[in-house]
Amino acid sequence: MKTRPLGRTGIEVSTLCLGTMTFGSQTSEADSHAQIERALAAGITFVDTAEMYPVNPVRKETVGRSEEIIGSWNRANPARRGDYVLATKHSGAGMAHCRDGAPISGQTIAGAVEGSLKRLGTDHIDLYQFHWPNRGSYMFRQNWRYDPSGQDAGSVLENMTDCLEALQREVDRGTIRAFGLSNESAWGTAQWLRLAEAGQGPRVASVQNEYSLLCRLYDTDMAELSVNEDVGLMAFSPLAAGFLTGKYQRGAVPEGSRMSLVPEMGGRKSERVFDAVDAYLDIARRHGLNPVHMALAWCQTRPFMMSAIFGATTLGQLDHVLAGADLTLSDEVLDEIARAHKAHPMPY
């Protein structure tokens, strides 16, 4: 498994990252532990979670359960904590089940870090991320109606400074090693970088935004920022929430799948999506490729990619992903993907 730098931190992470948002809901504790074991054995050294997980749906009674399941594995395997880089996230404003929806601030960070450390059964978090900006985001299919005109830039920057100072205290305590963002914009990321370089706190090492053959918002301003500032992308939903596997084509809804739990797939479902998926499935079929392997391998060709986060409800799904981990796409396949994207412009 190849590795890439986590920003300018000196930490290396595998180019595939095990996502855990089904741990404790669709995936049992025993199967979750087996997934961790299998992933580490295959060379994956990066595991991502969040204090609000599991999802589909998010429920008050299960918030924190994914971290707890990782924690029970850590407690059973204390000598192996150094075998992987562990990332988690502080929920943003509006998450009612975490601190009654309070925004991220210098006052919330210490308590949120302590809560995650306890659940994760560890004394440090390698990458601590802010799950989404307090000010809102164009992510989550809000890209064409996001309106930043009501923002007070001064207040936003004041909050960022407050947060960076609190993060620096955690770095000094040894509870976090690196800081990352999620669902962030180019302007927001640039401000976090500028304030850090002015000495306010730790420098942003990564951004976790949605990215796949069906969601390519990152190809514009964020791509340029990523490359020039060494802030790599942690791509979530690189299989487009399962659409790119082909399992939802022709009206199919497999039992236990995300669509069986969230019928509209968080706003992703549309006829345009199915047409685009057909185009990518056709490329994979004609070149003898599995569409899952092709989609993940394509992500690895992007100049800003640090690691692609994939989730597996079952061990069988995990094994299927791992079987294609070393795939390199030919120039012919990449050209056909580019033409398909032009014919079926997304995001959804």
Catalytic machinery residues: 53
CA-to-CA distance for 160 and 169, rounded, in angstroms? 14
CA-to-CA distance for 82 and 66, rounded, in angstroms? 19
Residue among 115, 123, 234, 107 at smallest CA distance from 181: 234
CA distances from 160 to 103, 109, 115, 157, 167 (A): 12, 12, 21, 5, 10
Collapse the DSSP code of 55 into the 3-class scheme (helix H, G, I; strand E, B; otherwise coil) and give the result. Answer: coil
CA distances from 32 to 24, 94, 126, 315, 348 (A): 8, 28, 20, 9, 30
Q: Which residue shows structure tokens 């079929």?
A: 285
CA angle 193–197–200, rounded 5-degree value: 95
What lies within 8 Å, CB to CB, of 168 at 6+ separation is 200, 201, 202
Beta strands (DSSP E) in the chain are 3-5, 12-14, 16-19, 46-48, 85-90, 125-130, 176-182, 204-210, 232-236, 305-311
CA-to-CA distance for 232 and 307, rounded, in angstroms? 8
